[in-house]
Amino acid sequence: MSEKITVYEKPTCSTCRQVDKILREFGDEYEKINYYVEPIGEAKLRDLLGKLKIGPRDLLRTKDAIYKELNLSNSDHSDDQLIKLMAEHPDLIQRPIVEKGNKAILARPAESIRALLA
């Protein structure tokens, strides 16, 4: 039995739709989580960041309005504060995040998901 694949996405995102298409072609079963409907909590964000092997600032969507509103480009926010803000404001989170077992990738570009599926 292969490891479960979970995709954290926003369904209207074009990259998320491309990842969905690749996964359907690959044939493995997977779960899609719209994190605007089912928010990613702080504990899960910490888990995903560990699997991604990146810091919270590396997961931020820097071109989104909320990023500018919260003045995150010129901030001294701690990692804990950034994680809390991402949990409260899903628009801050880069997408899609694809998790498989103890690994995860930020599937940007969508084709990068193939490395996780191999």
Catalytic residue set: 13
| Rounded Cα–Cα distance for residues 4 and 10 (Å) | 19
Question: Which residues does residue 7 pair with via DSSP β-bridges, in sequence order?
Answer: 32, 98
Which residues, including other chains, have CB under 8 Å from residue 17's CB and lie 6 or more apart? 11
CA distance 93 to 90: 6
Q: Dihedral of CA 20/21/22/28: which sign? A: positive
Strand partners, 9: 34
